[in-house]
C-alpha cells in the first residue's frame, strides 16, 4: 500500500486549493516541505528575509485574488514574519503563513527554536485564523479553511502550524481525505433602502465628492465605478492604492485640489476606503463639520468608524455602485461642469499644478523630487506596475506618477510599513511573468526604504526578474546633509553624538550592488542621465536594473495647507 508523508500532504492540499506561489526561507523543519511544494507543481521563491517573503506573498494575493503563501521555519523565522502578517491584516490582503515548529515530543523541555507560548498563540493577534492540525488526516480540512478565511469578508491572514514530527510522519495515501475546493466568496448585496437614501443625498448635494479606496481596486469594481463617474460627472479622489480604478488622467480627477475638495465637500461617497489617518479620520479641520458621508464597505465593523456616517452600506462594491448608478441615471442626474463647485475645483487644480510644474522644470543639480518624477513619468511605458516606498519618495510619487489601471500601484499602505518595496516588486514581476508578460515593474524607493530589504536584489537576480529599481537618494530619512557637512560630522569626535538620527551616508553608491553579479548599475545626478538609464533599463527582459538618483539632501515636498498627518486635539 502506497504511503504519503506529511510534507506531501501539505503541498498537495495547497495545490488543490489553487495556490500558485509560495515565498519563504527554508530550514529545519521545513526544507523537505519546500521541495514537496515544488514537486506538487507550485512556484517556490526563496527569499533572503522572512518579512520580505511575507510582503511578497501578500502582494501576489492582492494582485491575483488567490492568497499567496509564506513558508517560514520555527521560532525566529515565524517571529520575523509577524511584521508582514500585521501589514497584510491591516492592509486587508489575503495571505496564508505556514510555519514549521518544534517536534511535539520536544515541547515543554526546551526544543530547538521552541516558542512559549505556542506559535499558534503567538500568531493569533495577527490573523483571522490560526491553527495546528491535530493529525495528518486533518491537514486538507485546515488548509481549505485557512484559505477560505483569507478571502471571505474582509480579506486577511491565516496561519497554520506544523510540528516537525507531523511533517515526516507516513500514512497510507488512501487515508488522506479529499477536501472540496474553497468556493469563491459569496457576493454581498446592499440593503435597497440604504441605496435609495444614498442616491437621494447625492441628488441633493451642492459639493459632492467620490473617494475611491483600495477596496474598490481589490474588488475589481473598476467597470462599475467608471460608469458611475462618467454618467454623473462627479469629481473624485483616490487613496494611494485606489489610484487607477478611474484613471488619474480623467478630467473628473481632482487629486491636484485634494485638500480643498476634502475640506469643502458637503457629501462624500466613500467607496472601499476607510476613514483612518490616510483620510484624516473624516474630521475637521480637514473635512467640513457638516459633511454627509456615504460609506460602502464589505465589513460591517468599519461602519461609522471615527464619525457617524449619513448612510452606511455593507456590500460588495460592484452591486452597490451599480445600483446607485442606475438610480442616478434614471433621474437623469449629471453634475454639470458649469456648477460653482466644479469651477472652484478646477481653479484649485490649475493653481496647484502650476506650482508643481515650476518645481518639476527646475533641472539644476542637485535635483528635487518633483523634477525627478516628472522626467521619469515622461519615459515610463503605459500601464506599468509602480511599486513605491519611502517618505517623500512615496508621497510625492503618488501625485507625480500616474496610474490608468487599478492594482497597478503598490505602496506602504494603511500600516505605513517600510521595507515592503522589493518584496512587493518581486510579487508584481512574477504576476507579470505569468499573466501579463509585456508589462514592466518599476520599483521607486527612497534610500532609507531601500535599506530595509536591499539584499532581495540577489533574489531578483536569481529568478531573472526584470525589475527596474529607482532609488531616489537624498542621503537620509526625510532629509540628509550635504557632502561637506557629512564629512565634518565624520571627523568631529564620536559620530554617534555628531550624526543626527535622520542622516545616512552621503550619496551611497547603491547601484554598485549589481557588481556582485557582474552587472552594472546606473549612477545619476542629472535629468539626461536618468532618462538615458531608464530607457536602457526598459530594454532588458531577463535581469534587474538599479538606477541610483542623487537629489538634494534638503529636497522636500511643496508647502502644504495642512501638515501631512492630522494631529489629535484630545
What is the average per-residue pLDDT within 96-120?
Answer: 94
Q: Quick one: what percent of the chain has pLDDT higher than 70?
A: 99
At residue 349, the pLDDT reads 97
d(CA 287, CA 260): 9
pLDDT in tens, 2-37: 999 999 999 999 999 999 999 999 999 999 999 999
Give how far the C-alpha of residue 394 lies from the chain's centroid of Cα atoms, to the nearest Å: 12
Burial string for 130-139 (b: 16+ CB within 10 Å, else e) reads: bbbbeebebb
At residue 1, the pLDDT reads 74
d(CA 257, CA 343): 12
Phi, psi of 268, deg, nearest 5:
-125, 125
At residue 556, the pLDDT reads 87
d(CA 115, CA 10): 22
What DSSP designation does 406 have? T
What is the average per-residue pLDDT within 234-239?
Answer: 98
d(CA 470, CA 530): 9
Paired with 21 in beta bridges are: 43
What DSSP designation does 479 have? B
pLDDT in tens, 63-78: 999 999 999 999 999 9
CB 281 within 8 A of CB 306: yes
164: left (phi > 0), else alpha (psi -120 to 50), else beta? alpha
At residue 569, the pLDDT reads 52
Does residue 559 carry a pLDDT above 90? Answer: no
Over the chain, what is the mean pLDDT? 96
Q: Is 125 helix (H, G, I), strand (E, B) or coil?
A: helix
pLDDT in tens, 122-162: 999 999 999 999 999 999 999 999 999 999 999 999 999 99
Does residue 239 carry a pLDDT above 60? Answer: yes
pLDDT in tens, 187-206: 999 999 999 999 999 999 99
d(CA 25, CA 296): 39
Nearest CA among 102, 4, 98 for reference residue 50: 98
pLDDT in tens, 243-288: 999 999 999 999 999 999 999 999 999 999 999 999 999 999 999 9
Nearest CA among 122, 108, 19 for reference residue 74: 122
Residue 366, preceding bond cis, omega within 30 degrees?
yes
Q: Which residue has the cell 517560514?
A: 72
Q: Radius of gyration of the chain from Cα atoms?
A: 25
Amino acid at each position: 500500500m502506497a504511503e504519503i508523508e506529511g510534507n506531501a500532504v501539505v503541498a498537495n492540499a495547497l495545490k488543490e486549493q489553487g495556490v500558485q506561489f509560495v515565498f519563504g526561507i527554508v530550514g529545519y523543519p521545513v526544507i523537505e516541505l519546500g521541495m514537496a511544494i515544488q514537486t506538487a507543481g507550485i512556484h517556490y521563491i526563496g527569499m533572503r528575509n522572512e518579512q520580505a517573503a511575507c510582503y511578497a506573498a501578500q502582494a501576489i494575493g492582492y494582485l491575483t485574488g488567490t492568497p499567496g503563501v509564506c513558508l517560514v521555519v520555527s521560532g525566529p523565522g515565524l517571529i520575523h514574519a509577524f511584521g508582514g502578517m500585521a501589514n497584510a491584516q491591516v492592509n486587508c490582503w489575503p495571505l496564508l503563513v505556514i510555519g514549521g515548529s518544534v517536534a511535539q515530543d520536544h515541547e515543554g523541555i526546551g526544543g530547538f527554536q521552541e516558542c512559549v507560548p505556542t506559535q499558534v498563540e503567538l500568531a493569533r493577534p495577527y490573523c483571522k485564523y490560526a491553527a495546528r492540525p491535530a493529525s495528518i488526516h486533518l491537514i486538507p480540512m485546515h488548509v481549505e479553511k485557512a484559505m477560505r478565511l483569507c478571502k471571505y469578508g474582509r480579506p486577511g491572514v491565516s496561519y497554520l502550524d506544523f510540528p516537525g514530527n507531523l511533517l515526516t510522519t507516513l500514512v497510507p495515501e488512501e487515508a488522506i481525505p479529499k477536501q472540496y475546493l474553497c468556493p469563491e466568496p459569496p457576493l454581498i448585496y446592499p440593503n435597497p433602502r440604504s441605496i435609495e437614501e444614498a442616491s437621494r443625498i447625492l441628488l441633493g448635494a451642492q459639493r459632492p465628492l467620490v473617494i475611491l479606496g483600495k477596496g474598490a481596486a481589490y474588488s475589481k469594481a473598476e467597470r462599475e465605478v467608471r460608469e458611475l463617474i462618467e454618467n454623473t460627472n462627479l469629481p473624485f479622489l483616490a487613496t494611494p492604492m485606489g489610484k487607477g480604478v478611474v484613471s488619474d488622467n480623467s478630467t473628473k480627477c481632482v487629486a491636484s485640489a485634494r485638500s480643498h475638495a476634502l475640506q469643502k465637500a458637503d457629501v462624500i461617497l466613500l467607496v472601499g476606503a476607510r476613514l483612518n489617518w490616510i483620510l484624516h479620520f473624516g474630521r475637521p479641520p480637514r473635512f467640513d463639520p457638516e459633511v454627509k458621508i456615504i460609506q460602502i464597505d464589505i465589513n460591517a465593523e468599519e461602519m461609522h468608524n471615527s464619525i457617524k456616517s449619513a448612510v452606511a452600506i455593507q456590500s460588495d462594491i460592484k452591486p452597490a455602485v451599480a445600483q446607485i448608478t442606475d438610480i442616478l441615471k434614471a433621474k437623469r442626474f449629471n453634475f454639470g461642469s458649469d456648477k460653482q463647485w466644479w469651477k472652484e475645483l478646477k481653479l484649485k487644480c490649475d493653481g496647484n499644478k502650476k506650482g508643481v510644474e515650476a518645481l518639476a522644470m527646475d533641472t539644476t543639480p542637485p535635483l528635487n523630487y518633483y523634477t525627478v518624477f516628472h522626467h521619469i513619468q515622461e519615459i515610463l511605458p503605459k500601464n506599468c506596475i509602480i511599486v513605491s516606498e519611502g517618505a517623500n519618495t512615496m508621497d510625492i510619487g503618488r501625485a507625480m506618477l500616474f496610474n490608468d489601471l487599478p492594482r497597478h500601484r503598490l505602496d506602504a499602505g494603511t500600516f505605513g510599513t517600510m521595507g515592503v518595496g522589493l518584496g512587493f516588486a518581486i510579487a508584481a514581476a512574477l504576476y507579470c511573468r505569468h499573466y501579463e508578460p509585456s508589462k514592466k515593474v518599476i520599483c521607486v524607493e527612497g534610500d532609507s526604504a531601500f535599506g530595509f530589504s536591499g539584499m532581495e536584489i540577489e533574489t531578483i537576480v536569481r529568478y531573472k526578474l526584470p525589475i527596474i529599481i529607482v532609488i531616489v537618494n537624498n542621503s537620509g530619512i526625510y532629509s540628509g546633509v550635504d557632502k561637506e557637512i557629512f564629512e565634518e560630522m565624520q571627523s568631529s569626535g564620536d559620530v554617534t553624538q555628531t550624526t543626527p538620527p535622520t542622516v545616512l551616508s552621503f550619496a551611497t553608491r547603491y547601484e554598485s550592488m549589481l557588481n556582485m553579479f557582474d552587472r552594472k548599475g546606473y549612477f545619476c545626478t542629472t535629468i539626461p542621465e536618468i532618462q538615458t538609464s531608464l530607457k536602457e533599463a526598459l530594454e532588458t527582459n531577463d535581469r534587474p536594473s538599479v538606477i541610483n538618483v542623487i537629489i538634494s539632501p534638503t529636497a522636500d515636498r511643496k508647502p502644504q495647507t495642512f501638515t501631512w498627518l492630522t494631529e489629535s486635539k484630545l
